[in-house]
């Protein structure tokens, strides 16, 4: 658990894209962020009040979250000065950077002296048991993609937001570093040791009220040979009741695999359902989430309508249309 609320460190982000973690926090958990801290030359702005460390503290911030990607995998001297000062003032630090805070001697030393915690969300913070497969109470929904980066996290967050607004009991369960920083909790599944992957997902989605839904963040794809084992563990550890198929219709090959074509939604449907029913015989596919950001409005609407007619399932782009129809589709489960 990362202590909230946060002050978001945007550093010297060259552009808005470099600050996408901060933007995600701002978009999905605005109550988790009191403001943003920007250095000279910062080209990003997530629309929060600019604050110094002192101002952030006065506004109640507990953790300085690095909401920006660093260049070249090095934590620069300019960043270091701010991070050390934050520890001195009593902040915890949280980061999803590849190079870990804990591997920086000066940060470790300051954390030890001032009692701060360094959260490196790319690495698991606890050990997990081997999955036991026992049926858990409560309901679970998982998005599975024809490819990686097809909009699974966005779909889960959008459904979670819609369900909270409707007063439905729901918890988004992050399995990657961006989601973990957004919500302050979760499991970085791609960094868990193989034998414990499914057990980590079981631990992430424990017994709950019968009418509570976990929205589990999807990872990888059953059709992506680099990461399909992670997807498999997510399906069998998560034992979802409801599956959403996620798709990006303009891609010409699997992400990072130029020799691999993207499967059809039919192929994904036919593969995932028998796999999911091993862990949960009641599993159903309830809807389709399409990332149409590379299509114009008319082409997007046309694609969504044709896909819905072809597949016989509610088909939406939650960014264009909201996740309401996907949430509606959970009602029958």
Residues that bind its own copies (CB under 8 A): 130-135, 189-195, 197-199, 222-223, 225-233, 236-237, 239, 254, 256-257, 259-260, 263, 270-271, 274-275, 278-279
For residues 152 and 219, is the Cβ–Cβ distance under 8 A? yes
Closest approach, Cβ 105 to its own copies, in A, equals 22
Based on CB atoms, which residue is closest to its own copies, 106 or 195? 195
- CA separation for the pair 175, 192 (Å, rounded): 10
Burial class (CB in 10 A: 0-12, 13-18, 19+), 324: middle
Closest approach, Cβ 229 to its own copies, in A, equals 3
- CA separation for the pair 25, 6 (Å, rounded): 9
Closest approach, Cβ 204 to its own copies, in A, equals 14
Based on CB atoms, which residue is closest to its own copies, 2 or 131? 131
Two structure tokens written together for 48: 């929060």
Closest approach, Cβ 58 to its own copies, in A, equals 40
Based on CB atoms, which residue is closest to its own copies, 124 or 322? 124
Based on CB atoms, which residue is closest to its own copies, 175 or 315? 175
Based on CB atoms, which residue is closest to its own copies, 274 or 332? 274
- CA separation for the pair 94, 65 (Å, rounded): 5
For residues 93 and 116, is the Cβ–Cβ distance under 8 A? yes
Of 232, 244, 254, 250, give the one whose Cα is nearest residue 147.
Answer: 254
Closest approach, Cβ 55 to its own copies, in A, equals 39
Of 196, 284, 180, give the one whose Cα is nearest residue 172.
Answer: 180
């Amino acid at each position: 658990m990362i202590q909230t609320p946060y002050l978001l460190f945007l550093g010297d982000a060259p552009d808005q894209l470099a600050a996408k973690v901060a933007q995600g926090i701002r978009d999905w958990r605005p109550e988790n962020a009191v403001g943003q801290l920007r250095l000279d030359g910062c080209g990003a702005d997530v629309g929060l009040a600019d604050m110094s460390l002192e101002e952030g503290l006065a506004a109640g911030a507990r953790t300085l979250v690095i909401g920006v990607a660093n260049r070249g995998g090095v934590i620069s001297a300019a960043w270091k000065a701010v991070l050390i000062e934050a520890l001195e003032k009593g902040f915890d630090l949280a980061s999803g950077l590849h190079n870990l805070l804990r591997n920086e001697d000066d940060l470790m030393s300051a954390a030890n002296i001032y009692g701060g915690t360094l959260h490196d969300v790319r690495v698991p913070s606890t050990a997990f048991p081997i999955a036991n497969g026992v049926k858990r109470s409560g309901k679970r929904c998982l998005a599975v993609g024809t490819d990686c980066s097809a909009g699974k996290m966005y779909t889960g967050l959008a459904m979670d937001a819609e369900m909270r607004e409707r007063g439905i009991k729901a918890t988004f369960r992050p399995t990657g570093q961006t989601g973990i920083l957004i919500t302050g909790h979760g499991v970085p599944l791609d960094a868990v040791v193989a034998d414990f992957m499914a057990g980590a997902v079981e631990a992430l989605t424990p017994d709950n009220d019968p009418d509570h839904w976990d929205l589990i963040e999807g990872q990888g794809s059953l059709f992506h040979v680099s990461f399909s084992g992670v997807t498999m563990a997510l399906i069998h550890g998560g034992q979802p009741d409801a599956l959403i198929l996620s798709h990006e219709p303009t891609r010409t090959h699997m992400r990072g695999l130029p020799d691999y074509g993207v499967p059809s939604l039919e192929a994904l449907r036919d593969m995932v359902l028998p796999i999911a029913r091993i862990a949960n015989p009641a599993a159903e596919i309830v809807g389709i989430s399409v990332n149409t950001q590379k299509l114009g409005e008319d082409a997007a609407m046309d694609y969504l309508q044709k896909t819905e007619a072809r597949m016989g399932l509610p088909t939406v782009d939650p960014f264009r249309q909201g996740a309401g129809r996907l949430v509606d589709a959970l009602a029958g489960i």
